[in-house]
Amino acid sequence: MEQQTYTIREMSERFGLPASTLRYYEEIGLLTDVIHTESKKRIYTQQHIDCMTAILCFKRTGLPIAGIQEFFRLEDDIPGNIDQMVAILEEHEQNIREKIERMESDLEHIQQKVRYYSAVRDAIKKIGRAVQQECRDRYRMP
C-alpha cells in the first residue's frame, strides 16, 4: 500500500503555518527525511505530520526550539538516552503545571475585575436613567 504524501501547501494549511516555517524547521533539523523531487518540491509523509504535531505541542507549551532540537536528537537513540528524555519531559511538565497555576491565579484576578466593572457599568446605567427621569420631571413643559 502506497503511503499518503503531502505537499508543503497541504502541510502549511494543516498546521496553520507559513511554508517558510516548514522550510526553516527542515533547515534546523527538526523535520528530517523530507523528500525533494527533481523540481525541488518537498514531499511530506505521516512521519512529518506526527513530528509537526509534537513540535507545535512543545512550542505551545513553552519549550524553546533548542530544547525541541535536543529532545529530537536524543530520540535518535532512545535506549541510550531514555533517562535524559524522561528528565526533559518531567521538567517540561513541571514548568507547564507552574504556568497553569499562575494563569489560574491571573484568571481569578481577571474574573474579579469583570465582576467589579460590570457592577460599575450597571450602576452608571442606573444613575443615568435616574438623572434622565429627574430632568424630564423637573423641566416638563406645561
Give the model confidence (pLDDT) of 86-133 as tens digits: 999 999 999 999 999 999 999 999 999 999 999 988 988 888 877 777
Residue 102, pLDDT score: 97
Tell me the average pLDDT of the chain. Answer: 92
Q: What are the grid coordinates assigned to 15, written together?
A: 498546521
Q: What are the grid coordinates assigned to 48, written together?
A: 512529518
Residue 3, pLDDT score: 86
Q: How far is CA 116 from CA 102, 107, 119, 122, in A?
A: 21, 14, 5, 10
The residues, any chain, with a CB within 8 Å of residue 43's CB and separated by 6 or more, are: 5, 6, 7, 34, 35, 36, 37
Virtual torsion, Cα 37, 42, 44, 49, nearest 10 deg: 170
Instruction: Find out whether 12 and 6 touch, Cβ atoms under 8 Å.
Output: no
* Residue 75 amino acid letter: E
For residue 136, pLDDT over 80 is answered with no
Local confidence band at 134 (pLDDT 50, 70, 90 cut-offs): confident
Residue 2, pLDDT score: 79
Please state the rounded mean pLDDT for residues 38-46. Answer: 95
Residue 120, pLDDT score: 86
For residue 142, pLDDT over 50 is answered with no
